[in-house]
Amino acid sequence: MPALANNELRIVGFLCNWCSYGGADTAGVARASQPTDLRIIRVPCSGRVDPLFVLKALLNGADGVLVSGCHPRDCHYGTGNFYARRRLEVLKRFLPILGIDPARFSYTWVSASEGQRWQKVVSRFTEEIHALGPAPRFEAVEPLAKACSWTQESKGPVSVISPELLEQLKKAIADKLPELDCVLGWQEGRDLLHSVPLFIRSEDDLTKLRCDATCHNNLVRYLPDLKGQKVGIIVRSCEARSVVQLLQEGLISREELVVFALPCQGLLDLPRLEEALGRYQRLEDLTLTETTLRLRVDGQERVFQTADFRQSRCEQCPGELPAIADQSFGDFSGQTASQTLPPELAFLDSLNLQERMGFWRACMERCILCHACRNSCPMCVCRDQCIAESREPHWQSAEASVKEKFFFQIIHALHLAGRCTGCGECQANCPVGLPIFALRAHLNRIVSELFDGYQAGCDPKAVPPLLTYSQEEAHIHERSWE
């Protein structure tokens, strides 16, 4: 399609067939003159509008996107627009973190009889988009070479599991093992500092078990694949929330699961530690206390304050364990969540919209589309069916452009809206160190604001907020077009 001539801008409308499309027809029948910028895509219901369509349009060159449906309580399908309202409001609040002006997206309700209202909505929205001017193109913005600052205000200890506690845990697992297909834990990886998952199937395997602050892999990621088997899993607060979330979504079965719970004060941020450590050949010894980490590397003694290398997400960890443990070990008291923002989110908050887009543009230059963020996410249950790689539906082209990479990040983030339990594995596993957890942290903040402090993974009986609705939304104040 040729670029638009004159000063017309690219505005895309998604209109439900029953009300708003009819309202636009009514406006036409009444010869209600309107700006010509808007192009209408007819959908059956505003509930059909996947927020990703809006982002696809905005990333691909739309200067504005408008979604319009039936008035709440007047949905042709009864409840479609109630869901749409929640999802589109989350989307609107999500846009700024990407560097997209939220004013470029709006959603509203126009009934089939409201031709005048439609004329007003189109005229107002078009005027507003013209006032903003053409939208900056993601692939054309200046990359912002600015690194996220990781320093934090409050610093806590990291997790150390005493040998006695470890023995207790091993004994409990050994007792339960005969009736289980396997138990998920951690073991030493390529060296003492790195852990990998351990699938305990025998008492021999059990000797390899370790559960300290280096063990950051979220084992819950494996649970959906083991459905149908009787599985034990060692969880700490973050893993426990992931378990709860999967239970809520029915992707794992409580009856097939035995949960061994451990307390946790915090985990080590290995990518940052590696950076501080520099290149090394051999890691000969490791001693970890709550406050210090002693390493003998290539014959040299290195001492680190664990507080400096505590994972940023551990600051926000509510600490307390959702009530799903079958067996608990150790003392769970003492930890409270800090009210500070995750540093990556605080960093993005400090940037303006243009800088944010530039920042992500720079990040996406580095993204290698390895999908490690997705593959390590306990909530990414689509596995091989991820829409980022499917032909039908064909959401993403195979082109490895910054735009497509960014869209992949957006898919991952939006699919986690209201579901992300904040384990931070996505970011911890990013080989190029992109602060992508910021997108999830921002979504979690939005969900909490909109839905009475809702946090994913805290209550096995709760309904995820984007899979339900209320007829009157306490915290969603739609704009008036008057």
Partner 1 sequence: MRIGVFICHCGSNIAGTVDCAQVAAKAALFPDVVYATDPMYTCAEPGQAAIEEAIHSHKLDGVVVASCSPRMHEPTFRKTVERAGLNPYMFEMANIREHVSWIGRDIEANTRKATELVRLAVEKLRHNRPLQAQEFPITRRVLIIGGGVAGIQAALDCADGGIPVVLVEREATIGGKMAKLDKTFPTVDCSACILGPKMVDVAQHPLITLYAHAEIEAISGYVGNFSVSIRQRTTYVDWSKCTGCGTCTEKCPSKKSYDHFNEGIAPTTAITIAFPQAIPKKAVINKDFCRQLNGKKCAVCAKVCPTGAIDFAMEDSFVTENVGSIVVATGYDLMDWTIYGQYGHGRYPDVITSLAYERLMNASGPTGGHIVRPSDGKEPKSVVFVQCVGSRDPAIGRPYCSGFCCMYTAKQAILTKDHIQDSQSYVFYMDIRAPGKMYDEFTRRAQEEYGTHYIRGRVSQIFPDGQGQLTVLGMDTLLGRPVEIKADLVVLAVGIEASRGARELAEKLRISYDAYGFFLESHVKLKPVETNTAGVFLAGVCQGAKDIPASVAQGSAAAAKVLTLFARETLASNPQIAQVTAKRCVGCGKCLRCCPFGAIKSSLVKGEEKAEVIATMCQGCGLCTATCPQGAIQLAHATDDHILAEVNALCRL
| Nearest distance from C-beta of residue 438 to partner 1, angstroms | 21
Could you say whether residue 436 binds partner 1 (CB under 8 A)? no
Whether 409 and 435 have beta carbons less than 8 Å apart is answered as: no
DSSP assignment of 253-317 equals: -GGGEEEEE---S--B-HHHHHHHH-S-S-EEEEEE-SSEEEEEETTEEEEEEGGGGB-THHHH-
> Least distance (Å) from partner 1 to the CB of residue 435?
23
Here the tokens at position 209 are 């078990």
Q: What distance in Å separates the CA atoms of residue 185 and residue 198, rounded to the nearest whole number? A: 5
271 binds partner 1, rule: CB under 8 A: no
Instruction: Tell me which of 3, 131, 145, 398 binds partner 1, using CB under 8 A.
Output: 3
For helices 80-98 and 402-415, give the axis angle rounded to 10 degrees: 130
Q: Which stretch binds partner 1 (CB under 8 A): 45-53, 150-158, 287-295, 296-304?
A: 45-53
Number of residues that bind partner 1 (CB under 8 A): 76
Of 372 and 387, which has the nearer Cβ to partner 1?
387
d(CA 238, CA 472): 32
Closer CB to partner 1, residue 62 or residue 295? Answer: 62
DSSP-derived 3-state class of residue 181:
coil
Structural tokens at position 271: 């990518």
Stretch binding partner 1 (CB under 8 A), from 267-275, 301-309, 330-338, 391-399: 391-399
Which of 9, 20, 47, 330 binds partner 1 (CB under 8 A)? It is 47
**Residue numbers 393-432 binding partner 1 by CB under 8 A:** 393-395, 415
Select from 56, 93, 310, 442 the one that contacts partner 1 (CB under 8 A). Answer: 56
Out of 149, 352, 390, 401, the only residue in the binding site for partner 1 (CB under 8 A) is: 390
Q: Does residue 357 interact with partner 1 by CB under 8 A?
A: no
Task: Give whichever of 77 and 481 is closer to partner 1, judged by the CB atom.
Answer: 77
Token digits of residue 435: 């602060």
Kindly state the helix (H) or strand (E) to which residue 427 belongs, with its residue range. Answer: helix 425-428
Element (H, E) at 172: helix 163-176
**Between 95 and 295, whose beta carbon lies closer to partner 1?**
95
State the CB neighbour count (10 A cutoff) for residue 382.
14
Distance of CA 186 to the CA centre of its chain: 24
Closest approach of partner 1 to the CB of residue 422, in Å: 19
Among 106, 108, 111, 245, binds partner 1 (CB under 8 A): 111
Instruction: Tell me how far, at minimum, the Cβ of 363 lies from partner 1, in Å.
Output: 22
With binding defined as CB under 8 A, does residue 35 bind partner 1?
yes
Q: Which is nearer to partner 1, 44 or 102 (CB)?
A: 44
Cβ 125 vs Cβ 11: under 8 Å: yes
CB of 393 to partner 1, least distance (A): 3
Interface with partner 1, residue 112, by CB under 8 A: yes
Provide CB contacts within 8 A for 265, sequence distance 6+: 156, 157, 158, 159, 160, 213, 290, 314, 334, 335
Sole window of 96-104, 155-163, 184-192, 384-392 interacting with partner 1 (rule: CB under 8 A):
384-392
Interface positions, 215-234, toward partner 1 (CB under 8 A): 224
Binders of partner 1 among 130-149, rule CB under 8 A?
A: 137
Q: Is 42 in the site for partner 1 (CB under 8 A)?
A: yes
The residue among 253 and 291 lying less far from partner 1, judged by its C-beta, is: 253
Nearer CB in complex with partner 1: 84/293: 84
| Closest distance to partner 1 from the beta carbon of 32 (Å) | 6
CA distance 419 to 405: 22
Contacts of 318 (CB under 8 A, 6+ apart): 237, 335, 336, 337, 455, 458
Please identify, among the stretches 76-84, 205-213, 297-305, 436-444, the one whose residues bind partner 1 according to the rule CB under 8 A: 76-84
3-state helix, strand, coil in the chain (%, to 5): 40, 15, 45
Q: Which tokens go with 20? A: 């708003």
Interaction between residue 64 and partner 1 (CB under 8 A): no
